[in-house]
Structure 1
């Protein structure tokens, strides 16, 4: 039975001095620090490949600019072409394009958007995110299994560069946990790696690494 590892990787820091909740808006690329995070991730994955700690055979990213820029150093180091998958895009959010603060949330015209944080009522349902991410992971795993069979490998690895909330939903769903949660408790820092390990179709391990721990901003930004 082939062992596959899918490394869910959050993109690097975004250049967003206005503090906009940018969501799926175009034109939001990495900051200078985000570029260093991307480079760090490239070095991390290249080292794993070179030392035999991983056999990376597939790269996937969301269609947004910040994931393209994050995965670029890894793609160059591994000489692999990333596949764009709409299913790993950022969560839909009704506050997209706004500066979100307490006053914004309590404006009468927007109260209907915040009445149910368990869904959440302001954007794409947690379950919808979990299901699309799970489908994308399954597609990548099938590719990895085919690559491992063709090369006679016992295991194969793939990377998905996505966004904080979809990654967190995919992890909680895979672990069988409830999807509604306190956003402050998410374990998914910028440039971090959440690894799901499978034997066949069975999840056998979850690992989290804050690869860019020393590069994290002092204050978390909006967006994700």
Structure 2
């Protein structure tokens, strides 16, 4: 029996005192505030009263830590899926803005020639494709109940834009995917008709909104 709903949860705030774009770099775990945010996401899922049967996280430290309160709440053993990881980014380890920021360094300008792909990292189409493959596999593999996938801002936003039929290229400052937010999907369409069935977004919540004003790291673009 496939899953009922898929919940895409973004990780909480990361401890990043240097203010760098950390991407896939190791050693970037949650801040104390980030752990509170992750707990808020877990509490939101519990309050829905829905059976969560599967927990999947990106292999990165911040997503695994964000999955811990969910695992505890639903007594689940999380599994890792490389397909829901943060995209590669050639600016990893650099501060992007302000004095000395990477965007002001002429040596980096060649990486900015095509923001619609983008030229500085993994193509948007590739991100959307791997995320949708992971979601499809998780939905099919579940033995009923809901699936929670803890991932990152850009991959979740690519799923949103793909499902609503918008261009994947976008202004990163306008992503609707807050820290520890939850984007919920369902498979809709006539049962037994594969051609007519598709995932649709049925909800977005921001359970950590009350904590967001205290955040010093809201994720890099």
Give the distance between the partners of 1:192 and 1:222, measured in 2 at CA: 13
**In the alignment, what sits opposite 1:97?**
93
Does the Cα contact within 8 Å between 1:20 and 1:222 map onto a contact in 2? no
**In the alignment, what sits opposite 2:157?**
168
Does the Cα contact within 8 Å between 1:58 and 1:143 map onto a contact in 2? no
Does the Cα contact within 8 Å between 1:130 and 1:173 map onto a contact in 2? yes
Q: TM-score scaled to structure 2, two decimals?
A: 0.89
1:158 paired with 2:123, answer no
Alignment of 1:120-131 (within 5 A): 120-131=118-129
Give the distance between the partners of 1:189 and 1:109, measured in 2 at CA: 31
Displacement of 1:31: 0.5
Describe the SS at the equivalent of 2:5: strand
Q: TM-score scaled to structure 1, two decimals?
A: 0.88
Quick one: structure 1 residues 204 and 115, their matched pair in 2 at CA, closer, same or farther if it must change by over 3 Å? Answer: closer
Give the distance between the partners of 2:105 and 2:33, measured in 1 at CA: 34
Give the distance between the partners of 1:221 and 1:79, measured in 2 at CA: 29
Alignment of 1:78-157 (within 5 A): 78-101=74-97, 103-144=101-142, 147-148=143-144, 156-157=145-146
2:71 to 71, 75, 99: 75
Tell me, which stretches of 5 or more residues in structure 1 are unaligned?
Answer: 149-155
**In the alignment, what sits opposite 1:57?**
53
Give the distance between the partners of 2:137 and 2:58, measured in 1 at CA: 14
Divergent runs of 4+, >3 A: 217-224
Does the Cα contact within 8 Å between 1:40 and 1:211 map onto a contact in 2? yes
Quick one: structure 1 residues 81 and 115, their matched pair in 2 at CA, closer, same or farther if it must change by over 3 Å? Answer: same
1:212 to 208, 214, 217: 208
**In the alignment, what sits opposite 2:19?**
19
Give the distance between the partners of 1:27 and 1:104, measured in 2 at CA: 21
Displacement of 1:104: 2.0
Number of residue equivalences: 211
What's the RMSD between the two structures over aligned residues?
1.8
Tell me, which stretches of 5 or more residues in structure 2 are unaligned?
Answer: 192-196
Describe the SS at the equivalent of 1:216: helix
**In the alignment, what sits opposite 1:203?**
199
Give the distance between the partners of 1:116 and 1:206, measured in 2 at CA: 32
1:182 paired with 2:179, answer no
